[in-house]
């Protein structure tokens, strides 16, 4: 037959033999040809060839115990320094455990199959195969209780503002201890990358804030500000002629929080928008259980979270994030020049005013 099906125009599977000199980029581009390896290749190419364009604003959602495994310092800080991550929604736990490194406390490699009763007796806490002293928790708790006693914390604020202020203290402690780029929180302060927590009470940081409230501390988290500020970041990116991209590490509440920005803009505020332009997720969650963590970008289209015209650009890779994130980081840094940091933290008020004015003009909120 002379006329081949249009479905047979893909690259021929004929990878080179892997040798000791192969680069990471060539390994992924040339030998990741099928199954989740192919989805990972597509993820890397989507990230570097489309999402990292200068006019794209990139939000990251972060769930699962990524920072205890060292991925804050190994992957996320390098991505931020390269200008590849513009804003973040994280679990509080990732921020809390990140702080250990920034204030000079240790996490150790361990084993997942030891007797936990013995570990408890020896004051060893574990996150699967990460071990650390129970005292690490106590010292980190003390650090947070001390800083939130400072005058600048005695008010209601968004979680982005809280993390920015806390990051200043972590950064200073790191400098005193001569620690360079150990803390995501400290680096985000320096680069003005806003970090939000979708469930601020659901972590040891929130527990310590609650404990201090019993003692008269005035710090409160403004979750309404978090919802509106994140929506304003996305709205500002789109209405300035740019695009919005979402990099989803895991699932859970942070995934929903970065995606709900579009329904907040369209459904609630009634503003003309179509959804995020780029959707890239690493997950091990199944689709058929109905949970948000496994929900596909196609399903997200029905909620207005993802632009239906951009659905072919969406990639979901079913791969452990602790494998995917370091590889994606190395690939992106090798393939793409750095971008100028957008420093969105300093632009929060400006972006919020712009979205509010549009909603007032539309009549969905009062002037």
DSSP of 196-215, one letter per residue? Answer: EESSTTSSHHHHHHHHHHHT
Question: What pLDDT score does 319 carry?
Answer: 94
Identify the domain containing residue 281 by its residue range.
6-362
Contact 234, 268 (CB under 8 A): no
- How many separate domains does the chain show? 1
Identify whether 139 is part of a domain.
Answer: yes
Question: What pLDDT score does 312 carry?
Answer: 84
Whole-angstrom Cα distance, residue 177 to residue 102?
9
Active site residue 305: yes
Whole-angstrom Cα distance, residue 111 to residue 90?
26
Question: What pLDDT score does 316 carry?
Answer: 92
343-366 per-position pLDDT tens digit: 999 999 999 999 999 999 999 998
Contact 231, 261 (CB under 8 A): yes
Identify whether 29 is part of a domain.
Answer: yes
* Best CA proximity match to 72, nearest among 40, 100, 108: 100
In angstroms, the first-to-last Cα distance of the chain is 68
Question: What pLDDT score does 250 carry?
Answer: 94
Longest dimension (CA), the chain: 81
Q: Is 363 left (phi over 0), alpha (psi -120 to 50) or beta?
A: left
Identify whether 90 is part of a domain.
Answer: yes
Residues 6 or more apart in contact with residue 281 via CB below 8 angstroms: 247, 248, 251, 255, 297, 315, 316, 317
CA dihedral 284, 288, 294, 297 (to 10 degrees): 130
The arithmetic mean of pLDDT across residues 230-251, rounded, is 97
271-295 per-position pLDDT tens digit: 999 999 999 999 988 887 888 788 8
9-58 per-position pLDDT tens digit: 888 999 999 999 999 999 999 999 999 999 999 999 999 999 999 999 99
DSSP state at residue 150? S
Contact 112, 128 (CB under 8 A): yes
Res 1 pLDDT > 80: no
* Best CA proximity match to 96, nearest among 75, 65, 55, 124: 65
Identify whether 350 is part of a domain.
Answer: yes
Segment among 2-6, 8-12, 211-215, 323-327 with least mean pLDDT: 2-6
Q: Which residue has the higher pLDDT, 296 or 242?
A: 242
The arithmetic mean of pLDDT across residues 199-207, rounded, is 95
Computed over every residue of the chain, the mean pLDDT equals 95
Res 140 pLDDT > 60: yes
- Give the active site residue among 238, 305, 310, 342: 305
List the CATH number of the domain containing 220.
Answer: 3.40.910.10
State the pLDDT confidence band at 211, using cuts at 50, 70 and 90.
very high
State the pLDDT confidence band at 302, using cuts at 50, 70 and 90.
confident
Per-residue b or e along 214-229, where b marks 16 or more CB atoms closer than 10 Å to that residue's CB: eeebebebbbebbbbb
Res 65 pLDDT > 80: yes
State the pLDDT confidence band at 2, using cuts at 50, 70 and 90.
low
State the pLDDT confidence band at 6, using cuts at 50, 70 and 90.
confident
- CA separation (Å) from 6 to 34, 141, 310? 19, 60, 21
308-325 per-position pLDDT tens digit: 888 888 999 999 999 999
Whole-angstrom Cα distance, residue 309 to residue 33?
26
Identify whether 1 is part of a domain.
Answer: no
91-118 per-position pLDDT tens digit: 999 999 999 999 999 999 999 999 999 9
């Amino acid at each position: 037959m002379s006329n081949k099906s249009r479905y047979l125009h893909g690259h021929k599977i004929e990878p080179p033999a892997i040798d000791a000199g192969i680069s990471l980029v060539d390994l992924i581009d040339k030998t990741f040809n099928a199954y989740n390896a192919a989805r990972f290749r597509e993820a890397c190419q989507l990230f570097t060839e489309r999402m990292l364009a200068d006019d794209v604003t990139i939000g990251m959602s972060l769930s699962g115990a990524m920072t205890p495994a060292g991925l804050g310092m190994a992957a996320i800080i390098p991505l931020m320094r390269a200008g590849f991550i513009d804003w973040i929604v994280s679990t509080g736990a990732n921020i809390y455990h990140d702080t250990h490194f920034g204030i000079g406390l240790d996490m150790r490699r361990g084993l997942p199959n030891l007797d936990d009763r013995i570990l408890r007796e020896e004051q060893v806490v574990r996150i699967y195969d990460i071990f650390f002293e129970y005292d690490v928790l106590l010292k980190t708790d003390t650090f947070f209780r001390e800083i939130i006693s400072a005058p600048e914390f005695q008010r209601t604020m968004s979680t982005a503002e809280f993390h920015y202020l806390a990051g200043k203290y972590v950064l200073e402690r790191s400098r005193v201890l001569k620690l360079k780029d150990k803390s995501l929180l400290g680096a985000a302060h320096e680069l003005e990358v806003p970090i939000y927590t979708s469930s601020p009470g659901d972590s040891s940081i929130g527990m310590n804030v609650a404990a201090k409230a019993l003692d008269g501390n005035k710090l409160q988290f403004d979750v309404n500000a978090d919802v509106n500020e994140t929506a304003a970041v996305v709205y500002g990116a789109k209405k300035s002629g740019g695009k919005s991209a979402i990099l989803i590490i895991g699932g859970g509440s942070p995934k929903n929080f970065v995606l709900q920005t579009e329904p907040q803009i369209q459904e609630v505020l009634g503003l003309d928008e179509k959804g995020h332009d780029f959707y890239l997720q690493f997950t091990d969650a199944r689709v058929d259980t109905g949970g948000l963590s496994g929900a596909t970008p196609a399903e997200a289209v029905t909620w207005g979270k993802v632009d239906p015209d951009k659905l072919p650009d969406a990639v979901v890779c079913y791969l452990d994030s602790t494998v995917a994130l370091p590889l994606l980081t190395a690939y992106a840094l090798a393939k793409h020049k750095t971008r100028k940091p957008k420093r969105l933290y300093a632009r929060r008020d400006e972006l919020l005013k712009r979205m509010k004015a549009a909603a007032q003009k539309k009549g969905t909120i009062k002037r």
